[in-house]
Amino acid sequence: MAKLPELKAILFDLDDTLVPEMEPEREALLVVCGLVEAKYGADPEQMLKTIDESCHRLWAQWSTPSIYSEIAYAAWEGLWGPWDDPRYGLGNNEDTINQYKRDAWDEILSEYGVQDVELRDEIIEQHRVERVKRLVPYDGVGEVLTQVGETYPLAIVTNGSPAVQRFKLSEAGLSDYFEVVVASGDVGIGKPRPEPFTAALEGLEVSPEETVMIGNSWSSDIQGAANLNMPSIWFNAEGLPRPDKGSPPTIEISSVSEILGAIEEVARS
Contact predicate 8/267, CB 8 Å: no
CATH number of 9-19+137-268: 3.40.50.1000
Contact predicate 24/128, CB 8 Å: no
Q: Where are the beta strands (DSSP E) in 107-261?
A: 154-158, 180-183, 211-215, 232-235, 251-253
| Of residues 58, 62, 55, the one with CA closest to residue 29 | 55
- By three-state DSSP, how is residue 144 classified? helix
pLDDT at 1: 36
pLDDT at 63: 56
First-to-last alpha carbon distance for the chain, in angstroms, is 15
pLDDT at 89: 86
Give the Cα separation of 208 and 227 in Å (integer). 10
For the four alpha carbons of 218, 248, 203 and 188, in that order, the dihedral sign comes to negative
Q: What is the mean pLDDT of each run of 10 residues along the chain (269 residues)?
A: 74 98 97 98 97 92 76 94 90 92 97 97 98 98 98 98 98 98 96 98 98 98 98 96 95 98 94
Residue boundaries of the structural domains of the chain: 9-19+137-268, 22-132
Reported pTM:
0.94
Looking at the DSSP assignment, which residues form a beta bridge with residue 212?
A: 10
